[in-house]
Structure 1
Amino acid sequence: MSIFKLASTVSATALALALVFPARADVPAPVDQPYPGTMVLNVDATDLSQQIFRMHMTIPVKPGPLTLLYPQWLPANHGPNGPITQLAGLKFTANGKPVAWTRDPLHVYAFHLTVPEGATTLEADYQYLSPLDTSQGRITMTDDILGVQWISTTLYPAGYVARGVNVQANLKLPAGWQYATALETDSRAGDDVHFKTSDLETLMDSPLFAGRYVKRFDLDPGAKVRVTLNVFADTPESLEAKPEQIAPHRALVQQAYKLYGSYHYDHYDFLLALSDEFGGIGREHHQSSENGVKPGYFTEWAKGEAGRELLPHEYTHSWDGKFRRPAGQNVPNFNTPMDNELLWVYEGQTQYWGNVLAARSGLVSPAGARDALAASAARYDSVAGRAWRTVQDTVYDPIMNPRRPLGWANWQRSEDYYVEGLLIWLDVDTRIREMSGDKRSLDDFARAFYGVNNGSHLPAFYTFDDVVATLNKVQPYDWASFLRTKLDGHGPGAPLDGLARAGWKLVYTDTPTDYMKGADERNKSLDLTYSLGFTVAQDGAVRNVVWDGPAFRAGLAANSTVMAVNDRVYKPELLKAAIKEAKEGKPIRLLVRKGNVLRTIALDYRDGLRYPRLERIPGTKDRLEAIFAALR
């Protein structure tokens, strides 16, 4: 073929492709410039029966191309998990006439349109469809409680930094409902609430809870800076908190102030939902937190302490994660990818301080805190997946797999930077204490790192080198090598040196701690992780098989159901009895159903029931006692 004919053929092909695939509009890159005018967002949250939020936005515009974005990268979720499948009914008008839109074929959270000549405002109407079932996502609206996550209900213009876009938000509530949020209220007329104008980043970071049954507790009476526990419930009975239950929540605020020596909010609002229907959540924000737990938080207080570290964890995030943020989280808007490299600080150290503050405030007893630590140490000491995957690599899990169920979690690993991060920071804390003759501790790091710029809301970003430099100011050591070894290593086992340095060791007995008992009751399961190597639900459904454990080697998987134990219909008590009897040489036979197939498997296991707990190392200093002791 001649060059002329080849060129003609290429040109014809290019023209044909251009006709089929017209040039797409680019998504404008964010520029640090103020958006002209103020957007107005109206949210109607009154459709409780169908669980639909209806939005109307008024957006100042000028004629020509415009790209609007739906938030994709959610800061507290650490990944591109914006619930775009719940966005529906999107329509635009200008000067009373429809304006067509197209979705960007590559950036599917972006919508392109052309503003017609003469138009100065664009009207947008759409809905956010709260999931009707947990299989569709977290339920955010019930007949008694709703949660407005502005980040799920807002569109915003591309080409601008979030802090440069101003929004005035309004909310229509169900009749007579009360609400709580970190946003500043301008006025309320009946059930219509008008909030003061704020920048887009502040709006997105200030969710709202509303409900039929509400109670508020002042956690720092008489203080210039208000801290409030706002509780919403399915029934008024769930709101009945005793003074001795509120007291440790108040102590939490004081212990946090003593630890960090600062605060970074105008006021702080805990948003706590006690519900069987409203979706559970623990999500941090700079001046508030979203928390959803079961109704018995107050009314079943005596049943267990597990879970009470939730509020201390999210509160700590006001300092660690929202005020001090990893440099990779310094992004201009909510559609720019974030770098999760330092989540072992953002979440791992928060996990540590959340547990410590729970103990120091009295939300959790020292014994309960030790039992929780034993459970964490045992779980991560048994993670087979560390053989091929480092804890540093797990910081990318929110991007790769936003908490979807895993078939082999023990082998695949999932967001282990939280609790393994806790164990690493326990190692750091006890190492500082030991090297300094117990004159210094990680408390000194917290004050130096998070206590700067008291009262400021502006985030202060940090790098790995900043963390190392502050540690070296507290206690000189080769912290860079230490941290990299822990983060990039493969074991063997979990990083338990800090536990030993604290004067305790991980042991296994045939009796579960109260913490483990409570976990089994809440999960309606029997945890045999450290004996047979799996967890089994009350109905026999197999969960969480340990890779290369006894059950794994026998061929068991988490898509099976235990039907019988040694020829008797399955009950948890029967399985525990069989494990005990196996120490005497009796076999354990399980009749297992997988789909339509029944088979019997034999488990070669003779070490009895095993549950983790901590035991003092004789002749050592009890540094856990000092770590969990309230600051004076």
Structure 2
Amino acid sequence: MRLVGILGLVLALTISTTATAMPDSLSKPTYVAPQETIPPPQDIAYPGTMTLQVDARDHDQGIFRVTQTSPVVGAGRLTLLYPEWLPGNHAPRGEIEKLTGLEFTANGQKLPWVRDDVDVFAFHLTVPENVSAITATFQFVSATTSSQGRIVMAPSMLNLRWHQVSLYPAGYYVRQIPVEATAIYPDGWQAASALRPKSTTGNTIVYEKTDYDTLVDSPVFAGQYFQSLPLTSRVHLNIVADDAKFLKPEKDQIAVHSKLVKEAEALFGSHPYDRYDFLLALTDEMGGIGLEHHRSSENGVNREYFTDWDSGPGRRNLLPHELTHAWNGKYRRPAGMWTPDFRQPMRDNLLWVYEGQTQFWGYVLGARSGLYSKQDTLDALAAIAAGMDQRVGRGWRPLIDTTHDPIIAARRPKPWDSWQRSEDYYNEGLLIWLEADQIIRRESGGSKSLEDFARAFFGGKNGDWGVVTYEREDVVTALGKVQPYDWGQFIEERVYQTGTEAPKNGLLLGGYRLVFVDTPSAFILANDKRRKQLDLSYSIGLIMGGKGAIKSVIWDSPAFNAGLKSGLTISAVNGKAYSDEALKQAIEENRGGEGKIEIFAKNGEAYHNFMVDHSGGLRYPALEKITGEGVDQEGGIDRLLQPKTR
């Protein structure tokens, strides 16, 4: 009977397929794959040096004007590429739509060009006889509002990113293409970059010749209000601000930034740069950013970063994170994320190491340097662990799949972030590496830690800002050399398999447990202030934006089960006009009760009542020290956060 049933099912499927197939009488094309028209990159020397001049003076309208000359070897077809796959972005984020006014000339004659009909980042042209170089002129029309992309030109500062204002010839590794860049800045502005100036005349800087790969990896911050401060003999903190009144760092504030560099170099036991430049923008006008480079980093924080220092850690975790990338992400890089040019796709499957362990060391170095207090760090770990527990999407989507999110979602807003998941490899990766650290400490009797792995795996020759690639098995092998353990299974379970809760065992092994209290930590309050939100995700399961707007709803939370969603605007709570305080009061007044919280909200032109079933009151995550007989009063996390340098 079972065989008959299966045969019947197959027959039914066959009949169904036949019935819905396209009739033979209809016209049907045959697919022909497009011919490859772009030469692949080769590791050979480029014949000559490109010159690139960028006029960056039009900060009022946000227009960069570019003149670029490229040597050619003879007549024939030439393909020039606009950078598409951008390191640090983990995705094809080149803003090709902002390249305008493109013209090519040779010996004073205009040359026609055509965009490739498959790869729209490629431009083809024919070089005539007796031509030694072609010149391209164009504009990069940067965003003037945040809806158009990140703003890189503001009234008192700019962020010159060479990949946005240049082309490069196809057929070569970008490290083989020499280039000499020149930038013209607004009068009176000063600029900082990992590139060293060859000459400066007025507001024009000619930079030393370098290769195109290094050029793209060496952006510029320039501004009217500028200050450059040495942190060590190799590292400088270069600051631009919206106004001079924000450019007032105190000596003790600079001291903890200096301590950050010393702690990082002590951790990894090396410095993979000859010189490192923090580019730090104190701004509400230029777009925010946190992006790693080998010998510099782009960092955008609130303008009160220094002047409002005592109100909380704010974004002081940003610089430790980006500095760590000099070792993890730039010097040591997943093999799939190193490419010979900016056209080849990256494979992001090791971002749980690249970003996850960087996130881990970023918080550790923040605590060790004093940029974060120990309590702020513990509060951050509590918020991260509780937040990751809310990512119920791990029941269907393993962490490894979130490493593709930079390409899949491109950081666009999501309707159900906790169910869809996002770039969870950052914070869930942090928890995994915290657990790995605590396992190493336990298994070695406290004689070793993840610091031994970091020094062995990410350390290298001082001043070597090249690239050494790795695969997953290299990580497993290196962990095993530090401390024997089944690291392959450890990674398989936490990274590649689905689950029901976040990997929080590192907290317990480290001497702390996650608990919930009725008062938010200073870390949560500061985070809410910076993001202009009210985070009630641990109680009723929603995050409020301004003016009663629901910013996010946690999947399967009380708010979700009541029918609420992001985008609604709450008008009233329990019959009272909405305010953040009114909502918190209603939640707290229902603590231990049997009733429901009544939320009256607007969806478009319609109004609805939503009855939220939650009697747990206000809940906020915190870490509680594990105490008792036989418990080490200084646990692994306490030791982890201790400074290593004086």
5+ residue gaps in structure 1?
1-12
Aligned pair in 2 of structure 1 residues 568, 158: CA closer, same or farther (>3 Å)? same
Q: 2:639 aligns with which of 623, 626, 629?
A: 626
Whether 1:121 aligns to 2:133 is: yes
CA apart distance, 1:268: 0.3
Distance, in Å, in 1 between the alignment partners of 2:35 and 2:365 is 52
Name the stretch that deviates more: 230-239 or 530-539: 530-539
Whether 1:111 aligns to 2:123 is: yes
Distance, in Å, in 1 between the alignment partners of 2:162 and 2:50 is 13
- 8 Å Cα contact 1:535/1:542 also seen in 2: yes
Q: Which residue does 1:352 correspond to in 2? A: 360
For 1:537, the aligned partner's letter is G
Whether 1:51 aligns to 2:59 is: no
For 2:68, the aligned partner's letter is M
CA apart distance, 1:85: 1.2
1:308-365 deviation per Cα after TM superposition (whole angstroms, max 9, x unaligned): 1100000000000000011112211011011111111110000000000000000000
CA apart distance, 1:96: 1.2
- 8 Å Cα contact 1:89/1:125 also seen in 2: yes
Q: 1:565 aligns with which of 554, 562, 573?
A: 573
CA apart distance, 1:489: 2.3
Distance, in Å, in 1 between the alignment partners of 2:514 and 2:253 is 31
Distance, in Å, in 2 between the alignment partners of 1:491 and 1:604 is 26
Aligned pair in 2 of structure 1 residues 17, 607: CA closer, same or farther (>3 Å)? closer
CA apart distance, 1:17: 11
Superposed, 1:222-371 pairs within 5 Å as: 223=233, 226-371=234-379
Q: Which residue does 2:222 correspond to in 1? A: 210
For 2:88, the aligned partner's letter is A
Q: 2:615 aligns with which of 606, 611, 622?
A: 606
Same amino acid, percent of matched pairs: 49
For 2:39, the aligned partner's letter is P
Whether 1:436 aligns to 2:466 is: no
CA apart distance, 1:446: 0.9
Q: 1:425 aligns with which of 433, 437, 445?
A: 433
1:477-521 deviation per Cα after TM superposition (whole angstroms, max 9, x unaligned): 111111111101222210001111001011111111111111122
1:502-554 deviation per Cα after TM superposition (whole angstroms, max 9, x unaligned): 01011111111111111122222211101111111230110121111111111
- 8 Å Cα contact 2:272/2:460 also seen in 1: no
Distance, in Å, in 1 between the alignment partners of 2:286 and 2:425 is 28
Aligned pair in 2 of structure 1 residues 476, 167: CA closer, same or farther (>3 Å)? same
Distance, in Å, in 1 between the alignment partners of 2:516 and 2:44 is 60
For 2:132, the aligned partner's letter is T
Name the stretch that deviates more: 126-135 or 581-590: 581-590
Secondary structure of the 2:85 match is coil
CA apart distance, 1:387: 0.8
Superposed, 1:106-185 pairs within 5 Å as: 106-185=118-197
Runs (4 or more) in structure 1 with deviation over 6 Å come to 21-25
Aligned pair in 2 of structure 1 residues 63, 23: CA closer, same or farther (>3 Å)? farther
1:353-411 deviation per Cα after TM superposition (whole angstroms, max 9, x unaligned): 00000000000000000000000000001111101101110000111111111111111
**TM-score under structure 1 length normalisation:** 0.95
Secondary structure of the 1:373 match is helix
Distance, in Å, in 2 between the alignment partners of 1:369 and 1:17 is 61
CA apart distance, 1:23: 8.1
**TM-score under structure 2 length normalisation:** 0.93
Q: Which residue does 1:4 correspond to in 2? A: none
Distance, in Å, in 2 between the alignment partners of 1:525 and 1:192 is 43
Superposed, 1:505-584 pairs within 5 Å as: 505-583=513-591, 584=593
CA apart distance, 1:22: 13
- 8 Å Cα contact 2:595/2:613 also seen in 1: no
Distance, in Å, in 2 between the alignment partners of 1:454 and 1:476 is 29
Q: 2:597 aligns with which of 561, 565, 588?
A: 588
Name the stretch that deviates more: 486-495 or 284-293: 486-495
- 8 Å Cα contact 2:293/2:325 also seen in 1: yes
Distance, in Å, in 2 between the alignment partners of 1:68 and 1:540 is 50
Secondary structure of the 1:125 match is strand
Q: 1:34 aligns with which of 45, 67, 74?
A: 45
CA apart distance, 1:24: 6.3
Distance, in Å, in 1 between the alignment partners of 2:159 and 2:529 is 28
- 8 Å Cα contact 1:25/1:112 also seen in 2: no
Q: Which residue does 1:7 correspond to in 2? A: none
Q: Which residue does 1:410 correspond to in 2? A: 418
Distance, in Å, in 1 between the alignment partners of 2:619 and 2:87 is 39
For 1:119, the aligned partner's letter is V
Cα-Cα RMSD: 1.7
Aligned pair in 2 of structure 1 residues 587, 88: CA closer, same or farther (>3 Å)? same
- 8 Å Cα contact 1:24/1:104 also seen in 2: no
For 1:125, the aligned partner's letter is T
Distance, in Å, in 2 between the alignment partners of 1:239 and 1:484 is 48
For 2:539, the aligned partner's letter is S
- 8 Å Cα contact 1:130/1:141 also seen in 2: yes
Secondary structure of the 1:507 match is strand
CA apart distance, 1:586: 4.0
Distance, in Å, in 2 between the alignment partners of 1:326 and 1:22 is 31
- 8 Å Cα contact 1:145/1:278 also seen in 2: yes
Superposed, 1:185-196 pairs within 5 Å as: 185-196=197-208
CA apart distance, 1:146: 0.3
Superposed, 1:455-534 pairs within 5 Å as: 455-534=463-542
Aligned length: 613
1:577-631 deviation per Cα after TM superposition (whole angstroms, max 9, x unaligned): 1111112334311111011111111111111111000001223332111011001
Distance, in Å, in 1 between the alignment partners of 2:56 and 2:570 is 45
For 1:54, the aligned partner's letter is R
- 8 Å Cα contact 2:273/2:462 also seen in 1: no
1:441-462 deviation per Cα after TM superposition (whole angstroms, max 9, x unaligned): 0111111111222321211111
- 8 Å Cα contact 2:305/2:314 also seen in 1: no
Distance, in Å, in 1 between the alignment partners of 2:388 and 2:613 is 24
